[in-house]
Amino acid sequence: MISNDEQLKTAQESIKNLEFILERARKVHSPSEYRAMAEPILLELQDRENEIFQYLSVTESEIVGS
């Protein structure tokens, strides 16, 4: 769970890195290899994007108060 802007930046950078890995992998792996290796990475991307969404869905005072 993201609880501050520093963690938000880290999550955003992580997403960029995972997307870069997938972008490069699409170019060098066969479709079946890519699907197999991409599935867990895509799930991780989805989890991190959900964490960012949750963090950005509340005000700072709501985060501090919890």
Q: What is the mean pLDDT of residues 7-15?
A: 97
Q: What is the pLDDT of residue 59?
A: 86
Binned at pLDDT 50, 70 and 90, residue 42 comes out as: very high
Residue 9 neighbours by CB distance under 10 Å:
11
Q: What is the pLDDT of residue 60?
A: 80
Cα–Cα distance measured from residue 35 to residue 52, given in angstroms and rounded to the nearest whole number: 25
Q: What is the mean pLDDT of residues 1-19?
A: 96
Q: What is the pLDDT of residue 63?
A: 73
Q: What share of the chain has pLDDT > 90, as a percent? A: 86
Cα–Cα distance measured from residue 11 to residue 50, given in angstroms and rounded to the nearest whole number: 10
Residue 2 neighbours by CB distance under 10 Å:
19
